[in-house]
Amino acid sequence: MMTSQQRRNRLENLLERVQRNRQSLTGLTRKTPLAPDPEPVHEETLEESKITATDISQVRKDASQAPHQEALEEVVEEISEDDVEFVDDETDSLPSMESFDDLDRHTEDQPTRVVHTSSIFPPEAQVHKEQEEEAAKTGRFSKKRQSQEPLRKEPLSVSSSLEEAPRVFAPQPRAGTDVARVEGELRSKSYSLAAVLERAWEYGTKP
C-alpha cells in the first residue's frame, strides 16, 4: 500500500517531468523559425499543464486535509476481483440457473395448492389466457370476445318456446280410408278429448 509520503513524492516527480518536457518543447520551437506559429489551442494546453510551486503546495495542503483518503484506498484494496460482478449486456435481463433453483426452493417451502375448477366456470385467468392466445394469433383481440357476456355461475335453466308445437291433425284421408266418412265426421262430430278416447277405445273391438 502506497503511503501518503510516497504518493506525494511520486506526484512531485511527475510534475518535474512535465516541466522538463515543457522546456524541451519550447527550445524546439525556437530552433525551427520556419515552422508555423503554434496554434493557440496548443499553447493553451501547455499553459494548462504548467504547474507551479504554488500548485504543488496546494496539493500537499489538500492531501493533509483529506485524511479519509487513506481509509478509502484501504477499502478499495480490500475489495477483491471475485467480489466484482461483471454483467454481460446480452444476458443482463435473463435470470441465471441459480435463480431458478432459488425459486424452486422457495416454492417447496410453501404448501401445495391444487385448485380444480369446472371448465363450465373457467377462472378469469383462463379467459385472459385465451385472449392472449387469440391475440398472439391474430394480433388483436376480437370484438366478439371482448363484448362477451360474463360467464353465468348459477344453475342453468333450459327453456324452449316450442314454436312448432304439435297440433291436432284433423282426420286426413289416407290410403284405405273413406274420405267421405272422414269429412262427415269433421262436420258433425265433436272432437272433445273424452269423445275421441271413447271411440278410440271401442275401435276394432267388434269382430
Q: Which stretch binds another protein (CB under 8 A): 20-28, 44-52, 58-66, 186-194?
A: 186-194
Q: Applying CB under 8 A, which of residues 53, 136, 180, 194 lies at the interface with another protein?
A: 194
Q: Is 171 in the site for another protein (CB under 8 A)?
A: yes
Q: Which is nearer to another protein, 53 or 200 (CB)?
A: 200
- HEC-encoded secondary structure of 93-120: CCCCHHHHHHHHHHHHCCCCCCCCCCCC
- Other CB atoms within 10 Å distance of the CB of residue 18: 14
d(CA 60, CA 45): 24
Q: Is 122 in the site for another protein (CB under 8 A)?
A: no
d(CA 7, CA 112): 63
8 Å CB contact between 185 and 171: yes
Q: Which stretch binds another protein (CB under 8 A): 86-94, 106-114, 135-143, 157-165?
A: 157-165
d(CA 1, CA 78): 11
Q: Applying CB under 8 A, which of residues 160, 180, 187, 188 lies at the interface with another protein?
A: 160
Q: Is 125 in the site for another protein (CB under 8 A)?
A: no
Q: Applying CB under 8 A, which of residues 87, 97, 136, 200 lies at the interface with another protein?
A: 200
Q: In the Cβ-directed half-sphere of 123, how many Cα atoms lie within 13 Å?
A: 4
Task: Write the binding mask 59 to 98 for another protein: x where contact by CB under 8 A, - elsewhere.
Answer: ----------------------------------------
Is residue 46 exposed (0-12), middle (13-18) or buried (19+ Cβ within 10 Å)? Answer: middle
Q: Applying CB under 8 A, which of residues 53, 87, 168, 180 lies at the interface with another protein?
A: 168
Residues near another protein, by CB under 8 A:
118, 120, 155-162, 164-172, 174-178, 181-182, 185, 191-207
